[in-house]
C-alpha cells in the first residue's frame, strides 16, 4: 500500500514504519494518524510479521508533536474528537499483541512522545530530546501523555515535566526509565533491529501472552494476575509450547511458528 506521510516495509519478521514528514519534523496530522492506523492494522494481520518498529525520517526528529497549524482553529467539540481519536490509535499500538519498539531520533515532543510511550519498548539516540510542552500553548496533552508519562516515570517527575513543559535529554530519560537504551545516532537502527531480532526468535504465542499480562496490570478494569493465569494456560494448547519444551529436552534451539 502506498502512503503519503509514512513508509512501511518488512525486514525479515519485522515491519518497519517510518513517519515521513522530515521537513515538518514528522509532526502528527490527521493523515499521519490515519495512515499509521492502517499500517499498524496491516502489520497486525500479517502472519509473517512478528514485531513492529516505529521511527521517524531525517536526523532532527522522531516526531516533534502534533501539527499545531491544523488544529489551532478547532472548537471544543473538534478538540475532543481529535483527542479521543489519537488516544484510540495509540491504544491500538499499546494493546498490540506483537511487540512494538520506538526508535527515537531527535525530538520526541508532545504527540511524538505520546506515540513513543504507546510503544512497548523505546531506544533513543544520544541526540534525542523528550518533553510534553503543551502547557506552553495553553493546552493539556491530549493523547494520554499525562497518563503514560506518570505510569512510566512516576508521579513526581512526570508532574514536574508536564507542568513546566521542559525537555529532557536522552541520558536523563534512560535514568528515569523512559527508554531502554541510549545509543549513538549511527547505531540507532542496528540496535533496534538487534533487540527486535532477539525478540522475534521467541514464541509469538508467548510474546502475546506476556504483553496482554503486562497490560492487564495497568488496566483498572481487569485483574492482571488472572490475566497471567489465563495466558499461561493458553500457551499449553499451542504448537509453540510443544516445540519449546521438546527443544529444551532435546537440547536444541526451538523453531517457533506462532501457532
Q: Where are the domains of the chain?
A: 6-199, 204-249
Closest residue by Cα to residue 90 from 67, 70, 110, 68: 110
Alpha-carbon span 119 to 125, nearest angstrom: 16
Q: What is the DSSP string of 84-137?
A: HHHHHHHHHHHT-SS-EEEEE-SEEETHHHHHHHHSSEEEEETT-EEE-GGGGG
The active-site residue out of 73, 114, 172, 187 is 114
Class of domain 6-199: alpha beta
The active-site residue out of 4, 37, 126, 134 is 134
Alpha-carbon span 117 to 53, nearest angstrom: 13
Identify the residue with better confidence: 182 or 2: 182
Percent of the chain topping pLDDT 90: 91
Q: Is 81 a catalytic residue?
A: no
Angular region, 258: left φ>0, alpha ψ -120 to 50, beta rest: left
Closest residue by Cα to residue 206 from 225, 228, 180, 221: 228
Contact (Cβ atoms closer than 8 angstroms) between residue 128 and residue 108: yes
pLDDT tens for residues 144-184? 999 999 999 999 999 999 999 999 999 999 999 999 999 99
pLDDT tens for residues 27-75? 999 999 999 999 999 999 999 999 999 999 998 999 998 878 777 788 9
Q: Is 73 a catalytic residue?
A: no
Q: Residue 19 is placed in which grid cell?
A: 513517519
Amino acid at each position: 500500500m502506498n502512503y503519503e506521510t509514512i513508509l512501511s516495509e518488512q525486514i525479515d519478521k519485522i515491519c518497519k514504519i517510518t513517519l515521513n514528514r522530515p521537513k515538518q519534523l514528522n509532526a502528527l496530522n490527521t493523515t499521519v494518524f490515519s495512515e499509521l492506523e492502517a499500517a499498524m492494522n496491516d502489520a497486525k494481520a500479517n502472519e509473517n510479521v512478528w514485531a513492529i518498529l516505529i521511527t521517524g525520517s531525517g536526523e532532527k526528529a522522531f516526531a516533534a508533536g502534533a501539527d499545531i497549524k491544523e488544529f489551532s482553529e478547532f472548537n471544543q467539540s473538534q478538540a475532543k474528537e481529535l483527542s479521543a481519536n489519537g488516544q484510540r490509535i495509540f491504544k491500538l499500538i499499546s494493546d498490540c499483541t506483537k511487540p512494538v519498539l520506538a526508535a527515537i531520533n531527535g525530538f520526541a515532543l508532545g504527540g511524538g512522545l505520546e506515540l513513543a510511550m504507546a510503544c512497548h519498548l523505546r531506544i533513543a539516540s544520544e541526540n534525542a530530546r523528550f518533553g510534553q510542552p503543551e502547557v506552553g500553548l495553553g493546552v493539556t496533552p491530549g493523547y494520554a501523555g499525562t497518563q503514560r508519562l506518570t505510569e512510566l516515570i512516576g508521579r513526581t517527575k512526570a508532574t514536574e515535566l508536564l507542568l513546566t513543559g521542559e525537555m529532557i535529554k536522552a541520558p536523563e530519560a534512560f535514568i528515569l526509565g523512559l527508554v531502554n537504551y541510549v545509543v549513538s545516532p549511527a547505531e540507532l537502527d542496528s540496535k533496534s533491529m538487534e533487540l527486535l531480532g532477539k525478540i522475534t526468535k521467541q514464541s509469538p504465542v508467548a510474546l502475546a501472552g506476556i504483553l496482554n499480562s503486562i497490560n492487564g496490570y495497568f488496566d483498572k478494569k481487569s485483574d492482571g494476575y488472572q490475566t497471567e493465569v489465563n495466558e499461561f494456560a493458553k500457551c499449553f494448547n499451542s504448537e509453540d509450547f510443544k516445540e519449546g519444551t521438546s527443544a529444551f529436552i532435546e537440547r536444541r534451539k526451538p523453531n517457533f511458528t506462532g501457532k
